[in-house]
Amino acid sequence: MSASPSASTTAAASTSKLDTVPSPPIVKKAAGFFSPEVASYFIAGGCAGAASRTVVSPLERLKIIQQVQPRGSSNQYKGVWRSLVRMWQEEGFRGFMRGNGINCLRIVPYSAVQFTTYEQLKKFFTSYGSGELDTPKRLASGALAGITSVCSTYPLDLVRSRLSIATASISLVTPTPAPSTSPASVPRQATPALSSSYHTSAPLRAASASSAAVAAVKSQYTKADLTIWGMTLKIMREEGGVRALYRGLVTTAVGVAPYVGINFAAYEFLRSVITPPGKSNVVRKLTCGALAGSISQTLTYPFDVLRRKMQVAGMKEGAIKYNGAIDALVSIVRVEGVRGLYRGLWPNLLKVAPSIATSFFTYELVKEFLIPP
């Protein structure tokens, strides 16, 4: 029995209507946590971190030394080139690489967690959001990735900071002005050996005291203390247990969140401008990373200074103690001015360009090798 004309017309209209209705967008399911794709992000991020930090290890150590040394001391590390030469003369190649082992041990999981978290958060925001990855989402993804990575590896960062300055010939004791009265009228005080070079104006005595300061610094640490495990045990034994390994964590997280967010957002924006389709090469990619790192580091550098100050505040030979991040900030500005918040910025900028450029370039190179396009 044939269908009636009206029924046929209705069926045809329904079929035509269904054909014209756009199909719902297919949402790509996010990769599982232990998927090969996520593993590739993790491996690429770890390789990127290790390569970037090894390239600039001497400048990284110099930055930490300049951040924590007191203002006005007679044996300061001044100038990038002069300080690097001094570091070489005092400790040789090992001085350049001092702390780099733990830095790589820290930066491999740090960078791996950061890149992996960033990639997964981008997928999350595009899957459950508008589908477009705009600048605010990149900033949020980078900030959350930075907080996640720094919380997971912070004790290693603190130990690395201690190892970097443990054998440097600087004092953590703030120099005091010479008294106006005669030496005979001033009662003798038990002055720490480290601060002896700051209480004399005679060049010969200053040079002698500086040499004594170097010996005093090195004598405070045994050979076992200058290892990753030894320094970790020393901190826990002398400064309050496991809690001491997290000194300055809040300040670090507050500083890392905007830094990583700006870093990733700036890099992806610069990539769209400097490396458009058909114009991507090694030089352009490295330039994007260098510019992104320089911008993000400059904007958030005071947080990095606060972090280092907080990390070394518990050392026994240091006279400066802080009651928290706010107290540290107020103390630095009061004693050294706003300029004190940017101490060590110049070597940091010299370090950041090749470091971030190498990091992003290595990450993309390894990721493309593991996940062919």
- HSE (side-chain half, CA atoms, 13 Å) at 234: 20
Q: Which pLDDT score, from 0 to 100, does residue 64 have?
A: 74
User: In the chain, how many domains are there?
Assistant: 1
Establish if 286 belongs to a structural domain. yes
The answer to whether 105 and 163 have CB atoms below 8 angstroms apart is no
Q: Supply the pLDDT for residue 165.
A: 76
Domain-embedded: residue 24: no
Which residues span the domain enclosing 310? 35-174+199-370
Does a structural domain hold residue 8? no
The pLDDT value recorded for residue 160 is: 77
Give a yes or no: residue 30 inside a domain: no
Question: How does pLDDT run along the chain (373 residues), one tens digit per residue?
Answer: 444 555 555 444 444 444 444 444 444 444 455 688 899 999 999 999 999 988 888 877 777 777 777 666 656 777 777 788 888 888 887 777 777 777 787 789 999 999 999 999 998 888 765 567 888 889 999 999 999 999 988 888 888 778 877 766 655 555 555 454 444 444 444 433 333 333 333 333 333 444 444 455 555 778 888 888 888 998 898 888 888 898 878 878 887 899 999 999 999 999 989 998 888 889 999 999 999 999 998 888 888 888 777 766 655 555 566 666 787 888 888 888 888 888 878 777 888 889 999 999 999 999 999 987 6
Does residue 98 lie in a domain region? yes
Query: Measured in whole angstroms, how far is the alpha carbon of residue 82 from the centre of its chain?
Result: 24
343 falls within a domain: yes
For residue 82, tell me if it sits in a domain.
yes
Q: For position 360, which CATH number holds?
A: 1.50.40.10
pLDDT of residue 113: 94
Q: Judge whether 133 and 177 are in contact, CB under 8 Å.
A: no
Predicted pLDDT at 293: 92
Q: Residue 345: inside a domain, yes or no? A: yes
pLDDT at 34: 63
